[in-house]
């Protein structure tokens, strides 16, 4: 099973895990987060991030999800990458996380593709909801 680490600004990762647990009706295993605040020194957080990656990796690899590409969490993730072993995708969202959790028993390249497709396909314009009027039949 692929381990999943969210490295995000503030409490976004914690909130996404909470929401995913609600949607899936359980707390997914091998899922952790590291929140980065404005007061944090990223260099000082890097050892903690490395420890989390090691804890999450049971031999199948780890996928790191970050929020904004080029931001501090994304830059931290880039220092943790090991091609084929530890990969990262930026732009994390609830649809992306749910997709990743759904396909995490597949290999790492597949889960990276699923993360990206989950993020892209999760962005939709919400259509107007029309109530059926029984009196007019419309």
Which tens digit of pLDDT belongs to each residue from 106-136? 999 999 999 999 999 999 999 998 887 655 5
pLDDT of 44 > 60? The answer is yes
Predicted pLDDT of residue 107: 97
Q: Strand 62-66 and strand 31-36: pairing?
A: unpaired
Name the nearest CA neighbour of 18 among 1, 4, 36, 31.
31
- Rounded Cα distance, 5 and 31, in Å: 6
Instruction: Compute the 3-state secondary structure of the chain and give helix, strand, coil in percent, each to the nearest 5.
Output: 45, 15, 40
Greatest Cα pair distance in the chain? 66
Residue 133: the pLDDT is 64
The 10s digit of each residue's pLDDT in 74-109 is 999 999 999 999 999 999 999 999 999 999 999 999
Give the per-residue pLDDT at 37.
Answer: 96
* Torsion sign, CA atoms 52, 70, 104, 83: negative
Domains of the chain: 3-121 (3.40.50.510)
81 three-class SS: coil
Q: What pLDDT is stored for residue 137 in this prediction? A: 57
């Amino acid at each position: 099973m692929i381990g999943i680490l969210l490295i995000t600004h503030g409490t976004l990762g914690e909130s996404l895990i909470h929401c995913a647990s609600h949607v899936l009706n359980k707390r997914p295993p091998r899922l952790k987060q590291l929140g980065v605040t404005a007061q944090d020194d990223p260099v000082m957080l890097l050892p903690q991030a490395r420890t989390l990656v090691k804890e999450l990796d049971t031999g199948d690899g780890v996928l790191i999800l970050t929020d904004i590409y080029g931001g501090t969490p994304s830059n931290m993730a880039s220092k943790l990458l090991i091609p084929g072993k530890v990969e990262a995708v930026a732009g994390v969202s609830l649809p992306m996380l749910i997709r990743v959790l759904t396909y995490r028993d597949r290999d790492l390249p597949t889960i990276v593709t699923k993360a990206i497709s989950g993020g892209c396909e999760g962005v939709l314009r919400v259509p107007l909801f029309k109530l059926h009027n029984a009196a007019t039949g419309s």
